[in-house]
Structure 1
Amino acid sequence: MLYAIYCIDKPDSMDLRMAHRPAHIEYLKAREDRILVGGAQLGEDGEAMLGSVLIIDAPDAAAARAFADDDPFAKAGLFESVRITRWRKAFFNPAVAG
């Protein structure tokens, strides 16, 4: 089953994000077989990182929550909020992967 994980950073947390980014990337690379897509949520300037979005394959909501909770960003207290929902692919166009 696919789950979308929407994470919003706490205000003024760029230093915390950058300090834990290498561990976050390694965590995701070690689990890339479960990740459909993922990346940072950006401000309109295309630079400011506001949070993260991941769509992962997990057997159930508890496993999706565990995936999110074990992320080094989450363990470091980066996120103001984390929302996890079931997700169903309706359209997918890899050519638009700008």
Structure 2
Amino acid sequence: MIFAVLCKNKPDHLHVRMENRPLHLEWVDGLNEKGTLKIAGPFLDAQEKPCGSMLLIEAQDQASAEAIAAQDPYGKAGLFEKVEVKPFKWLYNNPGV
């Protein structure tokens, strides 16, 4: 099952994001290598600076998806104000269909 992981950065925490970016990218690369990651990238604010993240991941169930999301180095560093993990049905342009 696919899950959307929607993360909103805390205000004025761009420095936390940049400091932890290498660890975050390493983690995302690991998800990609395992086939868990389907899509990922940042949300941008009006100045085109990252203000959050979205990942589509494959997981067995809600609890597994939440456990994967909890491993994000950004989250562990306290970057996120809010994280939502929601089941997602990929209807259009799904390369796996």
TM-score of the two chains, using structure 1 as the length reference: 0.90
Distance across 1 between alignment mates of 2:70 and 2:94: 29
Write the distance in 2 (CA, Å) between the matches of 1:82 and 1:76.
13
Q: Structure 2 stretches of 5 or more lacking a match?
A: none
Alignment CA distance shift 1:78-1:88 (3 Å) = same
In 2, Cα distance between the equivalents of 1:40 and 1:66?
A: 20
> Within 2, Cα distance between the matches of 1:30 and 1:90?
26
How far apart, in 2, do the equivalents of 1:53 and 1:19 lie?
19
Aligned to 1:36: 38
| Pairwise CA RMSD | 1.3
Structure 1, unaligned stretches of length 5 or more? none
CA distance in 2, matches of 1:7, 1:29: 18
Q: Distance between the aligned counterparts of 1:44 and 1:61, measured in 2?
A: 32
* Residue in 2 that maps onto 1:9: 9
- Runs of 4+ aligned structure 1 residues displaced above 4 Å come to none
Question: If the length of structure 2 is used for normalisation, what is the TM-score?
Answer: 0.91
The Cα of 1:92 is off from its aligned counterpart by 1.4
Aligned-residue sequence identity (percent) comes to 39
Going from structure 1 to structure 2, the CA distance change for 1:93 and 1:65 (only over 3 Å counts) comes to closer
For residues 91 and 65 of structure 1, what CA distance do their matches in structure 2 show? 24
